[in-house]
Amino acid sequence: MPDSAGTLRLPWTLAAEPSGCPDAMALLRAYYTEVADRYYELHERRRSTAAEIEQGLAEYPSDCLGPPHGVLLVARHGGTAAGCAGVRLLDERTAELKQLFVRPAHRGLGAAAGLLTAAERAAGELGAERIRLDTRLDLVEAVALYRRHGYREIAPYHDDPYADVFFEKRTPRPAP
C-alpha cells in the first residue's frame, strides 16, 4: 500500500528498469494483451490474437522509456514484477505517461496510485512542468484513477485512433 505521499511501502519496491529486461517486457506484453483483449471484446466480441499483440508491441515500442528522455518504473511485490509505468518527454516542458499497468492479482493494493505518483515525480525530475496521457473510455478504472489524482481533461494532443480522452496535470517540483 502507498503511504500518504503515494509512495509504495514494503512488501512493494519500485525502481527504474530497462524496458528490454525480461520482467519489463513481460509486464508490457501483459499490458498490451489486457488492453487489446478489452478492445476486441467490446468491439468484436473476441480476444486478441498473438499476432495482434506482436503488432501492437511493434507499433508502440517502449524503447523511448529510457534515459535520457524517459524512464520505465517497475513495481515489485515481494520481489515479483507486478506493475509498471512509463514516462517519456514529448518536449522540454511536457512529459507523457505510458503503459501504467498492474497485474490483476496485485490490484487493489495501492500499486496503481503509487506508480502514478512515482511517474509524476519522474516527469518532474526529467524537467517537465506537466504530464499528459491518453486513454480509452472503456478503461473505466484508468479514467477514474486519473480523475481521482487531479488530472484534468484536455484537448487531444495527438491523433492516435485508440485514444478517446486526454488528460494533463502539473508535475511536482523536484526536491533541491
pLDDT tens string 11-28: 899 999 999 999 999 999
Question: Which pLDDT score is estimated for 2?
Answer: 57
What whole-number distance in Å separates Cα of residue 74 and Cα of residue 102?
A: 10
What whole-number distance in Å separates Cα of residue 84 and Cα of residue 89?
A: 17
Q: What is the DSSP string of the chain?
A: -B-TTS-B-TTEEEEE--TTSHHHHHHHHHHHHHHHHHHHHHHHSSPPPHHHHHHHHHHS-STTSSTTTEEEEEEEETTEEEEEEEEEEEETTEEEEEEEEE-GGGTTSSHHHHHHHHHHHHHHHTT-SEEEEEE-TT-HHHHHHHHHTT-EEE--SS--TT--EEEEEEPPPPP-
Q: Where are the domains of the chain?
A: 12-170
Question: Which pLDDT score is estimated for 6?
Answer: 62
What mean pLDDT comes out for the span 108-121? 95
CATH (one of 3.20.20.70, 3.40.630.30, 3.30.70.890, 2.60.40.10) for 12-170: 3.40.630.30
pLDDT band, very low/low/confident/very high, at 172 (cuts 50, 70, 90): confident
CB 97, CB 30: distance < 8 Å:
no
3-state secondary structure 66-94: CCCCEEEEEEEECCEEEEEEEEEEEECCE
pLDDT in tens, 41-54: 999 999 999 999 99
pLDDT in tens, 136-171: 999 999 999 999 999 999 999 999 999 999 999 999
Look at residue 3 and tell me whether its pLDDT is greater than 80.
Answer: no
Q: Percent of the chain scored above 70 by pLDDT?
A: 94
Give the number of other CB atoms < 10 A from CB of residue 16: 16
pLDDT band, very low/low/confident/very high, at 1 (cuts 50, 70, 90): low
Q: What is the pTM of this model?
A: 0.92
pLDDT in tens, 84-97: 999 999 999 999 99
